[in-house]
Amino acid sequence: MEKLLATWMTPESNRWAFANVREIIPTARVARGGDTFELTEAACGAAALDAPLQSSGKTVAKYLEETATDSIVVLSGGELQFEWYAEGRTAADVHINFSVTKSLTGLIGGALAAEGAFAFTDLVVEYVPEVKGSAFDVEIQSLFDMAVPLRFSEDYAMADPRMLEYRRSTGWIPGESEGLHSFLPSLERRSPEGAEYHYASPTTDMAGWVLERAAGRRLAELFSTYIWKPIGAEFDADLTVDDYGAGRAAGGFSCSTRDLARVGHHLAAGSGLVPEAFVRDLCTGDAARWRSGAHIRDFPNGTYRNFWYVPDTSAPVLYAVGIHGQGLYVDLEKKVVIAKHSSWPVPISEEMHTAQYRGLHDIAAAVDGGVS
């Protein structure tokens, strides 16, 4: 088992591992409710695979192949337009979402804040006094906007020893650790809170810890109560936990691709999953702060708010992104949603990231134009 834990994200293992995380890492069940939000049968079948994409001219089939796709589900107005699964995959399979999990954590925050469990302007230490004096002695909103510049590098090559410590603390790689909630208070800031956008997964795990304390419930239960049951999920989901039961808010959520698309549909439909004001606020963010961060090259006209990307502030599109090619694309105006699970051979690839987003954008435009 330790060997599998050490290699599960490698190109040789990841396609199987990403769909079987519960056999590798301890997980908590995220329970669905009793009623499923039913999706109609796909409006366009295999013929859609031969359709060319506007930006590249490549067929949908070629796009799916080149972006190492495991599954994709496309909805329009809540109706299933297209879905595709790689050989050996079915609609019932779950797949890890990696950092798409962050965006779902943001939705839990919006729902809990609406209930009065906390305010985004509250201080983190009001809920988690264990981090007083650490990097996370900040406002809660700074967590949700990745505005806590840490002495920490999100280095998937593991050259930063702090990244190694972090991965061990989550139980994602072998090694001794006292757990995630022991690791987080050890982090320090390298510049003042709010000075810049700094993408760092521990920041979202800190947000998850705050949500647990504010609600008095474990993270898996919060995912179930505030997302999985309200969206009418078809299947239970999983959340990885460390050796002490701490849930991984930054990347540990696994679910079916259809259910991930259901999340996007409820956001686009304004069904009450989170308040409409919260969704509108996602499209604002702090563009100046975004421009100060290293990720500006991804979406130069975009911004970031509550763990959601807005690729272009002139268009109401939300985008959740995870390493190895996970994505949830939500066009709030046109009500087109695309959920995609993948097994890229590398965690990050600027070329694949660009190709993936452009492909999703093209597919969404085709669906909206009735040219699927």
Which of 71, 76, 99, 134 is the catalytic position?
A: 99
Q: What backbone torsions phi and psi does residue 163 show, to the nearest 5 degrees?
A: -65, -40
Residues forming a β-bridge with 239: 28, 253
99 is catalytic: yes
At 15, list the tokens. Answer: 């396609």
- Catalogue the active-site residues: 99
